[in-house]
């Protein structure tokens, strides 16, 4: 373990003592094809995946994590990817059983699985529900066949909407993702697309502005001048239009890219943003574990085959396990919490950091209309501050 030389965070910010939620993230790292914009830890393999072997490895890493943080109750589980909807339902059931072997799972636990919206995958939805999954998150991405092709997606708009319909029929909760700010997309086109999408939504949608991630095919096209995302002004208009339409539809933003009816928020993702405790299982998964008053940042080996080999040898795939300093913990608390419309409890920040936020900096950001205090006394970024979130955080964290 590194970090022995660091000053240790004196205050537990998550974990059972804080009475907070505990989540388990499971990473399934395989996809049928790689989308040209995506830099998630996802891999295409020609050979058949030995799912029974993966179940054994997930179970081993779950058991070794549970041995380190006993006594938690699981409030959320999230199968992310990659494409977890390529897993057989019995694989998902076995992983949920392994989690239940490590910690009790709360009766009302939220159990989400990310799915690609193809007909083949939708056929497995009932099997996932029988396995214990109660929420799916579908990567619809666009309601426009040409845009879907440009994004390298293998499904059509019709197929995606059919998968949404199956999700609605099978699960208590579902969400879907769209990517906006796509090359050449005008605010008028996006408004039309979003207005067509929202009647299909349940209590939650995720709307991401396209990010050009380094070392992706989109980054190469962008560098060659062959892919033009919207300029800053258009991106701002796209963001504002999104807020307006979703708000009018009863799905206000509760996070910079996530929209929900009150009560429909994704409880698992709230664990990250509220800086509670979560275990990261599977290749390239990150965790935050509260052990004996220390906040541990964990990360596992990214490459699927290497992760498997490590787990089979050592019982876990950890490649990093650092104790965060109070300053690092406080920065993370700020970074994650200010993404939320509910903002942060500044008293909690002071407890973690051992000092309050700089009053002069707060005053300046307030003067510029970038932050405000809520009726509940929390500090949050304003609507007009959200597009500048990164610089607001950099200012406060410095």
Ligand X SMILES: C[S@@+](CC[C@H](N)C(=O)[O-])C[C@H]1O[C@@H](n2cnc3c(N)ncnc32)[C@H](O)[C@@H]1O
Best CA proximity match to 142, nearest among 80, 217, 216, 192: 192
Question: In the range 40-59, which residues lie near ligand X by CB under 6 A?
Answer: 40
Number of residues that bind ligand X (CB under 6 A): 16
Residue 252 and residue 266 in contact, taking contact as beta carbons nearer than 8 Å:
no
Q: Is residue 38 near ligand SF4 by the rule CB under 6 A?
A: yes
Q: Taking CB within 5 to 8 Å according to partner kind, which of ligand X, ligand SF4, none is near residue 177?
A: ligand X
Minimum CB separation of residue 44 from ligand SF4 in Å reads 8
Q: Taking CB within 5 to 8 Å according to partner kind, which of ligand X, ligand SF4, none is near residue 179?
A: ligand X
Question: In the range 222-251, which residues lie near ligand X by CB under 6 A?
Answer: none
CA distance 210 to 183: 9
CA distance 317 to 310: 5
Best CA proximity match to 376, nearest among 339, 350, 344, 353: 344
Residue 87 and residue 32 in contact, taking contact as beta carbons nearer than 8 Å:
no
CB nearer ligand X, residue 120 or residue 363: 120
Best CA proximity match to 59, nearest among 371, 375, 281, 348: 281
Q: Is residue 181 near ligand SF4 by the rule CB under 6 A?
A: no
Binding track, positions 74-93, relative to ligand X; x by CB under 6 A: ------xx-x----------
CB nearer ligand SF4, residue 35 or residue 111: 35
Report angle CA 379, 254, 118 to the nearest 5 degrees: 155
Question: In the range 66-95, which residues lie near ligand SF4 by CB under 6 A?
Answer: 81-83
Minimum CB separation of residue 139 from ligand SF4 in Å reads 6
Q: Taking CB within 5 to 8 Å according to partner kind, which of ligand X, ligand SF4, none is near residue 306?
A: none
CB nearer ligand SF4, residue 30 or residue 128: 30
CA distance 179 to 133: 25
Please, what is the angle between helix 304-314 and helix 51-68, to 10°? 60
**333: how many CB neighbours lie within 10 A of its CB?**
24
Number of residues that bind ligand SF4 (CB under 6 A): 11
Q: Is residue 338 near ligand X by the rule CB under 6 A?
A: no
List residues near ligand SF4 by CB under 6 A: 31, 34-35, 38, 40, 42, 81-83, 116, 139
């Amino acid at each position: 373990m590194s970090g022995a030389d660091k000053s240790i965070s004196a205050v537990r910010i998550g974990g059972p003592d804080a009475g907070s939620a505990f989540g388990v993230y499971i990473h399934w790292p395989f996809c049928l094809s790689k989308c040209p914009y995506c830099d998630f830890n996802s891999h295409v393999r020609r050979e058949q995946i030995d799912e029974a072997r993966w179940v054994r490895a997930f179970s081993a890493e779950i058991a070794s994590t549970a041995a380190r943080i006993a006594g938690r109750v699981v409030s959320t589980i999230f199968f992310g990817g990659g494409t977890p909807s390529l897993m057989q339902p019995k694989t998902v059931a076995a992983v949920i059983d392994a989690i239940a072997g490590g910690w009790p799972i709360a009766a009302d636990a939220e159990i989400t699985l990310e799915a690609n919206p193809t007909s083949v995958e939708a056929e497995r939805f009932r099997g996932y529900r029988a396995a214990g999954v109660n929420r799916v998150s579908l990567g619809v991405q666009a309601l426009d066949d040409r845009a879907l092709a440009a994004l390298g997606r293998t499904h059509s708009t019709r197929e995606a909407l059919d998968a949404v319909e199956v999700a609605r029929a099978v699960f208590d909760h579902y969400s879907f993702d769209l990517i906006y700010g796509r090359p050449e997309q005008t605010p008028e086109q996006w408004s039309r697309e979003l207005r067509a999408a929202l009647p299909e939504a349940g209590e939650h949608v995720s709307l991401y502005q396209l990010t050009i991630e380094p070392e992706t095919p989109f980054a190469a096209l962008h560098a060659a001048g062959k892919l033009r995302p919207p300029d800053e002004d258009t991106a701002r208009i796209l963001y504002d239009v999104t807020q307006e339409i979703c708000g009018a539809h009863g799905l206000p933003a509760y996070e910079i890219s996530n929209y929900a009816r009150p009560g429909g928020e994704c409880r698992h993702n709230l664990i990250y943003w509220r800086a509670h405790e979560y275990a990261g299982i599977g290749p390239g998964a990150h965790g935050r574990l509260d052990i004996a008053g220390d906040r541990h940042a964990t990360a596992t080996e990214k490459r699927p085959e290497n992760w498997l080999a490590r787990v089979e040898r050592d019982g876990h795939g950890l490649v990093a396990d650092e104790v965060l300093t109070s300053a690092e913990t406080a920065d993370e608390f700020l970074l994650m919490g200010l993404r939320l419309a509910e903002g942060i409890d500044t008293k909690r920040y002071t407890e973690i950091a051992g000092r309050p936020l700089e009053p002069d900096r707060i005053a300046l950001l307030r003067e510029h209309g970038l932050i405000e205090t809520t009726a509940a006394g929390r500090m949050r970024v304003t609507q007009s501050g959200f597009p500048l979130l990164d610089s607001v955080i950099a200012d406060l964290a410095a």
